[in-house]
Structure 1
Amino acid sequence: MSEFNQPLSGNEMPRFGGIASMFRLPVQLSAEGLDVAIVGVPLDCGTSNRAGSRYGPRQIRAESVLVRPYGMATKAAPFDSFQVADTGDVALNTYNLEKSIGIIESHFDGVLASGAKTLAMGGDHTITLPILRAQAKVHGPLAVVHVDAHADMNDHMFGESITHGTIFRRAIEEGLIDPTKMVQIGLRATGYAADDFDWARQRGVRVVSAEECWYKSLDPLMAEVREQIGSDHPVYLSFDIDGLDPSVAPGTGTPEPAGLMTSQSLEIIRGAFGTNLVGADLVEVSPPYDTSGNTALLAANLMFEMLCSFPGCQRRD
């Protein structure tokens, strides 16, 4: 009998039955006693194109019933390594983005005060800024691995300084991120000017375009990333599902062609193992554009891989 929470087995309750908590784990509204708290952040009023990611956490949970507790390739057993629970959703102000950002930051302040690491699911990418604010209070400036089609380094959008397309510029300006320990992977497509990507480069961020990733394994890249970041510096992993090609992840608000493949997304997340990962998020799943549920299913599997990449995750022989 494990000392840790275990997912409800599909051999005990059919996967189409039972409560649709994340990974079929127990629901615990407090993070007390947890090593990793899974938190839904159903915000989409920071998005600039197709809405719907407010429904992301609910749909990812529903599809997560197909995720089993053991990683066959990595031999990782996160639920034998950590006490993990689904801690529900942040209670947002659906009419006010600025107030919601404050609510999210305060919520994650509380989770981190309990000693738990955080695994968040959005929601649009705006959620990452208040999470980084909370994380930086505990850990100082963070190293960041950012997977995305977009740099999210805009100065303003429609006159607003905080949206899903401005968050990493704000985070660097606020000192939440050490830009010399930040890597952006999968950036591509069209922009408004070269500054869309160059502003980050000028501050020391490593920008890896999608074109640099085509037709190759990303294991060598992640070995370089681990060397750049080091094994001790606190790391945050932020994964926008639109970093992937729309052929494998169509259910998102701002899709871009010629993106990363599913296997490459696994290589990136698995490649974060060996760093001091303190938190992660998966954002921008929009169920109204995910008619098959495959985008949310992929998101659930990527979140499992994130769990497996936290320091101390047991690897079985």
Structure 2
Amino acid sequence: MLSCLLCASSLVAVVLAHAGHEQKPIAGPHKSLWYNTHNSIPGDGGTQADSVFSGISTFGRLPYWPCLASDEEKYDIAFLGAPFDTGTSYRPGARFGPTGIRQGSRRLNLYGGYNVPLDANPFNSWATVLDCGDIPVTSYDNAYAIQQIEEGHNLILSREPATDAKKKGPSLKGKTLPRVITLGGDHTITLPLLRSVVKAYGPISVIHFDSHLDTWRPKVFGGAPTEQAAVNHGTYFYHAHEQGLLANDSNIHAGIRTTLSGLSDYDNDGYCGFEISEAREIDTIGTAGIIQKIRDRVGTENPVYLSIDIDTLDPAFAPATGTPETGGWSTRELRTILRGLDGINFVAADIVEVAPAYDTNAEHTTMAAADVLFEVMTMMVKKGPLSGTVKQDEGEEL
């Protein structure tokens, strides 16, 4: 009898501990098809939600709004596609990345969207989150495509957010801005995205998850026969440094395991302001050691840009990518490392090099990419509005 009472009291304690995390029912889009309260299953709130496998694909089944065509809807976090892949050096196909990632994200809120390790629900929070669709990107002219990506991203980034729009923020103009998560696209897109972010925040610290350095000099990577050819998915960080987009010596690669043209590539990487955490370090310092290296490098105060190449993952976990490299991390390891960055001041992010044509029928890569962004989205929500990352003159946090 005593044991039964103890079990009951333990159950009550668990229920009370999680009372603050009770989720709202997911409502369907058609009120006329909802079950009425009398005919509904007890406790379901009287609504009937769509199945996760039905309806138009948006990231995590978020509301869609054509943000590039209309500014009537405000948002705190926007998902934005950049379907560009004509800067790749090996396997093309990342132009279909945004579509694939959205498809792979369908079941993220199957059970309500609560992120257990991070103790937050990015789908049910203070933040207004929208899928803004894709930037229209030409596949015939790389220079113009890069311009389209920069301008489209900046249009979404520079608007007033839904929350705390009138409060001070960390942008150069002292304003609070929304965050933008971009679905690539090959890694070339990070150059125009950085140009957009730097217009808002000034030179920015970058955390770069990748198997490749991507700081190669154009003459080394691709030969650079023309100015346009010199900008590609292996040289964009070199150009970013030359254009003054990167904050000095506060940038880091994680997951690196590529072959090089020579040891001088490491020297050039340092010239561009990056520290390196190689993939194989996970065998010696573990995920905790890698997390600490990243946090020590970028800090938690300054604005940070997060760029994630899906080839950080081993091809066993993410085969659908443009330049796969064996010896990478598992999906679990990458998600653990990302969660360890909770509290860093991420103002924008991207995920790139997802090429669905090379995926398995089980959608391994697109699901992995979606789950990675679920962690990023949750960290942004946990951090709160960007107004909370600056302080008033008297020193009180906004």
Tell me the TM-score normalized by structure 2: 0.74
Question: Do the aligned partners of residues 75 and 48 (structure 1) sit closer, same or farther apart at CA in structure 2, a change above 3 Å counting?
Answer: same
Q: Percent identity?
A: 37
The aligned runs of 1:173-192 (5 Å cut-off) are 173-192=242-261
Query: Unaligned 5+ residue runs, structure 1?
Result: 1-5
SS in 2 for 1:237: strand
Aligned to 2:122: 78
Tell me the TM-score normalized by structure 1: 0.92
Alignment check: 8 A CA contact 2:256 2:312 kept: yes
Whole-angstrom CA distance in 2 between matches of 1:41 and 1:184: 22
Counterpart amino acid of 1:189?
Answer: T
Aligned to 1:103: 148
Which of 79, 85, 91 pairs up with 1:38? 79
**More divergent stretch after superposition (25-34 vs 54-63):** 25-34
Q: Give CA deviations for 1:13-69 in whole Å, capped at 9, x if unaligned.
A: 122111111110110112651101100111001111101111111111111111121
Q: Give CA deviations for 1:221-280 in whole Å, capped at 9, x if unaligned.
A: 223322332222110000000111111110101001101221221123212221111001
Alignment check: 8 A CA contact 1:40 1:88 kept: yes
Counterpart amino acid of 1:24?
Answer: R
Alignment check: 8 A CA contact 1:39 1:119 kept: yes
Whole-angstrom CA distance in 2 between matches of 1:174 and 1:7: 46
Question: Do the aligned partners of residues 183 and 177 (structure 1) sit closer, same or farther apart at CA in structure 2, a change above 3 Å counting?
Answer: same
Aligned to 1:298: 368
Shift of 1:8: 6.6
Whole-angstrom CA distance in 1 between matches of 2:333 and 2:265: 24
- More strand as a share of residues: 1
Query: Which of the pair has the greater relative contact order for Cα pairs under 8 Å at 6+ separation?
Result: 1
The aligned runs of 1:87-102 (5 Å cut-off) are 87-102=132-147
**More divergent stretch after superposition (162-171 vs 215-224):** 215-224
Aligned to 2:5: none
Whole-angstrom CA distance in 2 between matches of 1:73 and 1:276: 19
Shift of 1:216: 5.5
Shift of 1:311: 5.9
How many residues align? The count is 310
Shift of 1:197: 3.0
Query: Unaligned 5+ residue runs, structure 2?
Result: 1-24, 29-47, 160-176, 385-398
Alignment check: 8 A CA contact 1:70 1:78 kept: yes
Which of 57, 60, 83 pairs up with 1:23? 60
Question: Do the aligned partners of residues 200 and 233 (structure 1) sit closer, same or farther apart at CA in structure 2, a change above 3 Å counting?
Answer: same
Question: Do the aligned partners of residues 310 and 177 (structure 1) sit closer, same or farther apart at CA in structure 2, a change above 3 Å counting?
Answer: same
Whole-angstrom CA distance in 2 between matches of 1:8 and 1:291: 32
Shift of 1:202: 4.1
Alignment check: 8 A CA contact 1:136 1:142 kept: yes
Alignment check: 8 A CA contact 2:120 2:382 kept: no
Query: RMSD of the TM alignment (CA)?
Result: 2.1
User: Which of 1 and 2 has greater Rg?
Assistant: 2
**More divergent stretch after superposition (83-92 vs 64-73):** 64-73
Aligned to 2:287: 218
Whole-angstrom CA distance in 2 between matches of 1:153 and 1:7: 45
SS in 2 for 1:165: coil
